[in-house]
Amino acid sequence: LRAGVPAQDVRAIADRARDRARSTPCDSQDLGIAAQRVRSSFAGYARLIRQDFPGDVGVWRADRSVNSRRPVWKLSQDVRQGALQMRLGIAGRPGAEHLMAVATFPDGVPPYTARIVMRDRRLTSGPYLDTRGASLKSLPLHMRIPRSGPFESYSAESRSPSGADLLPSGMASGWAFRFPAQAAAAIAELDPRESIQVEFLFASGPPQRLFLEVGDFTAARAFLAVRAG
């Protein structure tokens, strides 16, 4: 999609692959040969522990190493806006991993909640990319999300001071927000070229907003699910 292939062409290829899979017997000799080729090609990739998934603007960093003693980031993207710094991704202990944001705030006053805002996939036919003749590669993230909706949003399920284990480098302290699993599933269904917005709400004063590129979030999650070779 980032290379300019129309979304309908990508969907058509996927549909043809599914149709071919449904019509091929499981004991097909040709299928067995193809499967062995895939296994051989996949063996090296399966041994990778860490991989970066760069987009046009941001980078998702995935880590499949296991640490049962303390929570770790399995998938993350960092963003900074002035003195406001945040990391969003999947973190926790094995078997108890959640979509989380850890952020620090310039004046030290924490928000009472946070929410993730994105294009409503059910009410729109595709991504909002306000290029206006500019190159998509250099399009700012705030122009990759609808200006006035329709949106869907997911509020944080919990808020707490962040433990030192989850603080990004250079962040002395911060607040951790845990989001529902549905939020990660929704991000995975977005176009990789668009962005999402993380909004922090305060008891007094305006909200603070940060934007992240969707990028290869789906591919990075799939990488985390791969069995180590």
Give residue-wise pLDDT tens across range 77-88. 999 988 889 999
* Amino acid 134: pLDDT: 76
* Amino acid 83: pLDDT: 81
Strand partners, 212: 196
Q: Which of 28, 46, 64 is the last residue of a domain?
A: 46
134 versus 58: the higher-pLDDT residue is: 58
Of 168, 225, 221, the residue nearest 190 (C-alpha):
221
Q: How sure is the predictor about 109, in pLDDT bands with cuts at 50, 70 and 90?
A: confident
76 in the same domain as 184:
yes
CB distance 36 to 202 below 8 Å: no
Lowest-confidence pick of 33-42, 170-179, 183-192: 33-42
Number of domains comprising the chain: 2
60 in the same domain as 42:
no
C-alpha to C-alpha distances, 116 to 23, 127, 140, 147, 212, nearest whole angstrom: 41, 17, 18, 15, 10
* Amino acid 211: pLDDT: 96
End-to-end CA distance of the chain: 30
How far, in Å, CA of 121 to CA of 135, rounded?
A: 24
210 in the same domain as 172:
yes
Q: Which domain holds residue 88?
A: 51-225
95 in the same domain as 14:
no
181 versus 37: the higher-pLDDT residue is: 181
- When the pLDDT of each residue in the chain is averaged and rounded to a whole number, the result is 91
* Amino acid 191: pLDDT: 94
102 in the same domain as 20:
no
* Amino acid 77: pLDDT: 97
* Amino acid 198: pLDDT: 98
pTM of the complete model: 0.85
The whole-number average pLDDT for the span 5-25 is: 90
The percent of residues above 70 in pLDDT, for the chain, comes to: 98
187 in the same domain as 94:
yes
The whole-number average pLDDT for the span 122-149 is: 89
211 in the same domain as 143:
yes
61 in the same domain as 27:
no
Q: How sure is the predictor about 15, in pLDDT bands with cuts at 50, 70 and 90?
A: very high
Which class for 6: exposed (0-12), middle (13-18), buried (19 or more C-beta within 10 A)? exposed
The whole-number average pLDDT for the span 119-132 is: 91
Flag whether pLDDT at 195 surpasses 90.
yes
* Amino acid 184: pLDDT: 97
6 in the same domain as 95:
no
88 in the same domain as 16:
no
185 in the same domain as 219:
yes
Of 140, 144, 137, the residue nearest 55 (C-alpha):
137
CATH number, domain of 155, equals 2.60.40
195 in the same domain as 96:
yes
* Amino acid 60: pLDDT: 97
